[in-house]
Amino acid sequence: MNLEHAPTPGCAHCRHFDAVERELESKLRNLNSLSSAYGSVRARDGLCHHHDRYVAASSICAAYGARAALQPA
């Protein structure tokens, strides 16, 4: 593994983190009454499935777990 290209440990790279807009809008049902999960104000923030809360992509905690590397098809 090339450490120069390894992701920084943080929510954005954690296996518990989900920032897919469709998922955010389905899990936070009233979000679209205020704005949209597709808005730029949200940045890259998303849901932590471990803590069951909305978190900043730059956050980090002791439950961090790197995502599995995608295997080439």
CA end-to-end span of the chain: 19
Residue 1 is predicted with a pLDDT of 46
Residues 1-17: tens digit of each pLDDT: 445 555 678 999 999 99
Residue 49 is predicted with a pLDDT of 94
Residues 25-55: tens digit of each pLDDT: 888 877 666 666 666 667 789 999 999 999 9
User: In the predicted model, is pLDDT for residue 73 greater than 60?
Assistant: no
For the chain, give every domain's residue range. 3-55
